[in-house]
Amino acid sequence: MRTSDEALRERERCVEICRRRAELWRNTSLASSGAAYVREEARARANEAAYLADLLASGADLPD
């Protein structure tokens, strides 16, 4: 197996982890039972996880 194939699979795995985490935090931020500061923290973490997923998925850091 080529190293680039392994790296691509790992990148895809990380993207999926980030997307699952974003969804988890998004659901947490929507919960009405938590305090406002907890919902705001969850919203920020969801945004960060989504940003990382998009960045990893884009492959923008890969040389052409």
Quote the pLDDT of residue 59.
83
Q: Is the pLDDT of residue 1 over 60?
A: no
pTM higher than the cut 0.85? no
For residue 15, the one-letter residue type is V
**C-alpha to C-alpha distances, 36 to 22, 24, 26, 42, nearest whole angstrom:** 18, 17, 14, 10
- Return the structure tokens found at 24: 């988890």
pLDDT tens for each residue of 5-62 = 998 999 999 999 999 999 999 998 888 777 888 889 999 999 999 999 999 999 876 6
Strand ranges (E), the chain: none
Name the one residue in this structure whose structure tokens are 């009405």. Answer: 32
